[in-house]
Amino acid sequence: QKEVEQNSGPLSVPEGAIASLNCTYSDRGSQSFFWYRQYSGKSPELIMSIYSNGDKEDGRFTAQLNKASQYVSLLIRDSQPSDSATYLCAVRDGQNFVFGPGTRLSVLP
């Protein structure tokens, strides 16, 4: 059974700090990776996709992928209270997607 693992948190960081969210996956053949943000009571919202080893930056967000270590991370720079949410890591497995349990991030003013 293919698995995606994340620390459930909560991860608490002060406003303005860098939040680092981590994810590991079991299938070495996985090719595509996604980060979703889910506010309480809302649906998952795609914030980053990454397919190649290395870093991908989009505004305050940076996704990092290391296929050899089967590790993908999300960095949020200059964290804001509005970033407080659960962050879901997902890996595409052919037709389907495998989601991690999510990491709850709390940004303290």
Partner 1 sequence: NAGVTQTPKFQVLKTGQSMTLQCAQDMNHNSMYWYRQDPGMGLRLIYYSASEGTTDKGEVPNGYNVSRLNKREFSLRLESAAPSQTSVYFCASSKSPGTGYQPQHFGDGTRLSIL
The contact set with partner 1 (CB under 8 A) reads 31-32, 34, 42-46, 49, 51, 88, 90, 92, 94-97, 99-102
Residue closer to partner 1, measured from CB, 3 or 15: 3
Region of 60 (left: φ > 0; alpha: ψ -120 to 50; beta: rest) is alpha
Give min distance, CB of 24 to partner 1, in A: 15
6 Cβ neighbours under 8 A, 6+ residues apart:
21, 22, 23, 87, 88, 89, 100, 101, 102, 103
Residue closer to partner 1, measured from CB, 79 or 89: 89
Give min distance, CB of 16 to partner 1, in A: 29
Residue closer to partner 1, measured from CB, 13 or 93: 93
d(CA 66, CA 55): 9
Give min distance, CB of 67 to partner 1, in A: 13
| Residue 6 and residue 22 in contact, taking contact as beta carbons nearer than 8 Å | yes
